Amino acid sequence: MKSNWIKYIFVVFIVLILGFAIFIIKREENEKEETSIANKETEQIKEIKLGIANFDTINPILSNNKNVQDIIKLIYEPLVDLTPDYKAEGALAKEWAKQSDNSYLIKLRENVRWSNGQRFTADDVKFTIDRLKDTSTIYSSNVKDVVSLDKVDDYTIKLNLNGDIPFFEYNLTFPIISKEYYEGEDFGSTSKNSNPVGTGKFKISEVQPSYITLEKNTSWWNKDKNVNIEKITVNLYSSIGELYNSFKIGNLDLIATSNDNLQEYIGTIGYSSKDIKGREHIFLAFNTANNFLARQEVRKAIAYSIDKSNITAEVFGNKYTTSSFPLDYGNFLAKEQDASSGYNVEQAKQILTENGWAFRNGGWQKIENYRTQTIALNLLVKSTDASKVTVAENIKAQLANQGIIINVQQAAPGDYNSLVQSRSYDILLGSITMAPSPDLSLFFGDGNLANYTNEEVQNIMNEVKNTSDENVLKEKYKRLIEIYKTDIPYVSLYNNKYTIAYSSELVGDVNPTWFYQFYGIESWYK
C-alpha cells in the first residue's frame, strides 16, 4: 500500500515537472513571438510608393505634368533652391553675387557628379539655358531675361541680363541637365529622355511602361544630409481616378492634388493630410486715380465691409483659404505679419462718417463744390470666369448692405485684357499666379494695377531689389505690409489650396509647400 502511494506521488511530481516545463516553453515562445512582432512593427521600411497620372516624360524640362515636375525634383537639381519658407539657398550654385543691375556672377559646386559618373561643370548650365531658350518648356520664362552667358572657368559663370530684374536668383530654380548626355541628340525625341541622368538625391534605376524605380544616389554631393529612403517606386496611371483608387487601397504612400472633392474619392480614414496655400492669389485692385477710390476712407470702408470667409464658404465651400497679403502663403517675409484690415462693418460706417460722408437714400453721400457725390463704382471681372463672376456678385451684395453701390462689369476676355492693360476700371477683381520670388512690382512698381503712388513705397521697392541681407528684407517688407494694411490700395481675398494626403504608416516630417512636396524626405520611412 505504501509503495502505491509512493508511485502516485512520483507520477504527480513528474506531471507537475512536465507541466511547469511546458509552461516555461510556451512562455518563452510567446515572448519570442511578441518580440518578433514588436521588432516587425518597429522595423523601418525604407521604400515608398508614389504615383503619376497621365505621365508624359521624365525629361525635367519637357514635362508639362505637375506631378512629374514635383517628383523630378528628387532626381534633378537647380542652381538655386528654396527653403520651406521660400528663402533662396544654394543647390548646384555654391554662391552668387549681383555684380551690376544687369549681371550676376555665379560660383558652382566643384564636387558634383552626374549619376553616370561624369563631372558637373559650367558647360551643363550653358547647355540647359540654351535648351530652355530654343525649346517650348514651362521654364523658358525663367531665362527670358538672360541675354548671354559667359563661362569664366569650369565652375564660374556670368549671366548677362536685359535689365534690372529684382530677385533674379529666384529664376534659377529650373532643373539642370547634362550636356554630355544629351549633346548631339534630337532633344525633343531622343530615346535618352526615357532614362536621363541627374545630380539629385535619387537616380533612375529602372523604367517600365507601368512604373519607374528610383534608388538612393549614393554619390550625391550633399554629405550633410543622410538619405534614409533606399527606393522609390513611381507607379504610372492612365487617369487621376486610377491614382486616387490606388492610394485608397494602400498602394501609394503620398498624393498631391488641387481637387476640391478629394474625400469623395479616397474617403476619410487610413491617411493624414495637410492643406497648402497655393500660388493663385485673388485680390481687388482699387484704381486710385478714380475720384472716390483716391480717398483712403472709401478704400478702407470697402475693405472693412467685405467678409472674406463668407466668400470662401458661400462660393467655394471652404475649399479656398482667405488671404491678407500676396506673400502670406508661407514666405518668410510675411510669415508673422497680418496685412488684413479685418471685417468690421461698424468701423466702415464710422470711417465714412468721420470723413464727412452721410448715409442717405440708401447710399453714402457727400456735398462737394455744391454737388452731391454718391459712392458708386464699377467692379470689373472676366465674363468667362464663372467663379470670379460669382465672387463679384457676392461682393456687390455685401457692399450693398453697407450702402456702397457696386455695378459688376462683366467683360469678354479680349476686352477684359485691354481694360486691365490700360487701367480703365474702378475696381479690378484680378488674380495672379505668384512666382517663388518675393518681387511685388505688379502691386507697387511703376504702372502697378492700382495706379498707386507712394514715395516711401517706391524707396522700399528700390532698396529691396538691391539687397540680399535677410534682416534688411524683413524690416522693409514689414513696413510694406503695414502700408498695405493702412493705405489699402488692394484687398487680398483668397488663395487656392492644395492637399497632400499621405499614408498613416509614413513616418517623418511631411512639410510640403506648393514649390516642393518632399521637404524632409531624407528622414522618411514606413
DSSP, collapsed to helix, strand or coil, labels residue 266 as helix
Q: What is the DSSP string of 421-468?
A: HTT--SEEEEEEE--SS---HHHHSTT-TT----HHHHHHHHHHTT--
Under-70 pLDDT residues of the chain: 1-42, 337, 339
CB 171 within 8 A of CB 165: yes
pLDDT at 195: 85
CB 428 within 8 A of CB 287: yes
pLDDT at 37: 46
User: For residue range 196-214, what is the model confidence (pLDDT) as tens digits?
Assistant: 899 999 999 999 999 999 9
pLDDT at 370: 87
* Domains observed in the chain: 76-199 (3.90.76.10), 279-498 (3.10.105.10)
pLDDT at 474: 95
Q: Tell me how far apart the 2 most distant CA atoms of the chain are, in Å.
A: 136
The answer for residues whose C-beta is within 8 angstroms of residue 406's C-beta and 6 or more apart is: 376, 377, 378, 379, 395, 396, 399, 400, 427
CB 335 within 8 A of CB 513: no
**In the beta sheet, which residues pair with residue 221?**
none
pLDDT at 390: 97
pLDDT at 3: 53
pLDDT at 260: 79
For the chain, the residue count is 526
pLDDT at 29: 61
pLDDT at 25: 63
pTM of the full structure:
0.86
